[in-house]
Structure 1
């Protein structure tokens, strides 16, 4: 009887672990020809106040369009009103087969510093907030299980010194898709006490296929090295840059 009870307990525990709700918060700094130190892109996709057409949001491989149109794994379930005027659009996606949610925020490109610092503070467990989705209460910001930043590396243009908590209740996984993100973000990520599962070593196009591949690996509970390889394979597929170059572009951990 004790053996049977033990087996039932193990099965129930395993089921609970598999079915646990998880949340992912993605911070997107909209591409902005005027307010960011970038090589200018065509005006239509480089307007940081126009999420609909923006390179990192509404364009073909932007976060909104890619997750809404180009992948079958995620479904847009809610457009969430934001009380913060610098968040121009906020979308909630749910995984088709798993109890996992992605909240994606499109930040005004002129407010890239706010976007960057909100991401870093959230990675430190700050700025937590809840969203209601039917009967569920979902935790985002510092309450998220995974956080990601997508966009220009603003730390190449400005200094940032957000305030961090000295102790955290848990170490949060993060992804930073921006040029040279490891070099520029590492001091801040260490202060935030976060775990970088994917960031970059060189110039890159921070488009959503890489984000989606990294999230797939995270959902599958893969190691940082496995997620790194997923990202490289995806980046090479879309950029045709050579797998060796793609592998050299991404890295994991400190």
Structure 2
């Protein structure tokens, strides 16, 4: 009996240890929307903010879901549609060689303002989300170590209000891939006290290769400068914009 109890205790200890070592990322995607966002219109299929199929920032070739699904480094664990709160689809990915999980939410493009608020509140440590996978409880929302916003920079057109005061002093990194995100998100991120790991100084295409390359460095615990350089290299590789220009565009810190 003592040996059995000892074995159970060891197994429980290993489970807790495994959970504590997991790293989590939560990506908030505002679907591209020709009608409801102040963007230069894209082809109708790419810019239907109420349809995840073919949307530029979700199911297109370089959309978040498609790009990570096609990646050799990530495995799609689950996909759920119409989960509420204006989220049309939620996908969970696991990194193939580390205990890192990525949760991505596709928001109806009409509700870009709510997407922005939800991202900022998460960057303040609020609205935690717990998801169970293989007897492991994974923490997302405000409990994720890295949060990201992908899409049009709606702050060019509106201001937002929310619970942006940090709930604790835990370090949370933030990646904001949207046009001129450093200027427009800075006042809010200073409130949430999240670390601006990568954001932008000019116009850009917020496609998933930039996010993926930045996350590659984050998983390896690289410095902020190394991670932002990875993002710049990705952007140059896909956009052919020149590496110097990409480095000026994608930066870290205030």
TM-score, normalised with respect to structure 2: 0.90
* Aligned-pair Cα RMSD in Å: 1.6
CA distance in 1, matches of 2:141, 2:135: 20
Displacement of 1:248 in angstroms is 0.8
C-alpha change, 1:101 and 1:167, in structure 2 (3 Å) is closer
Partner of 1:129: 129
C-alpha change, 1:135 and 1:230, in structure 2 (3 Å) is same
C-alpha change, 1:190 and 1:85, in structure 2 (3 Å) is closer
Partner of 1:240: 240
Partner of 2:35: 34
Q: Deviations over 1:89-120 (max 9, x none)?
A: 00000001110000000000000000000000
Q: Does 1:146 align with 2:146?
A: yes
Displacement of 1:228 in angstroms is 1.1
Partner of 1:86: 86
Number of aligned pairs? Answer: 238
CA distance in 1, matches of 2:69, 2:167: 37
CA distance in 2, matches of 1:194, 1:204: 22
Q: Deviations over 1:158-211 (max 9, x none)?
A: 111212235523121010000000000000000011001100000000000000
Partner of 2:48: 47
Q: Deviations over 1:9-62 (max 9, x none)?
A: xxxxxxx79x81011000000000000000000111000011111000000100
Q: What secondary structure, in the 3-state scheme, does the structure 2 residue paired with 1:83 have?
A: strand
CA distance in 1, matches of 2:54, 2:175: 24
CA distance in 1, matches of 2:83, 2:48: 22
Unpaired runs of 5+ residues, structure 1, are 1-15
Check conservation: 1:168, 1:193, Cα contact below 8 A: no
Partner of 2:11: none
TM-score, normalised with respect to structure 1: 0.90
Structure 1 stretches of 4+ with a deviation exceeding 4 A read none
Displacement of 1:67 in angstroms is 0.4
Partner of 1:59: 60
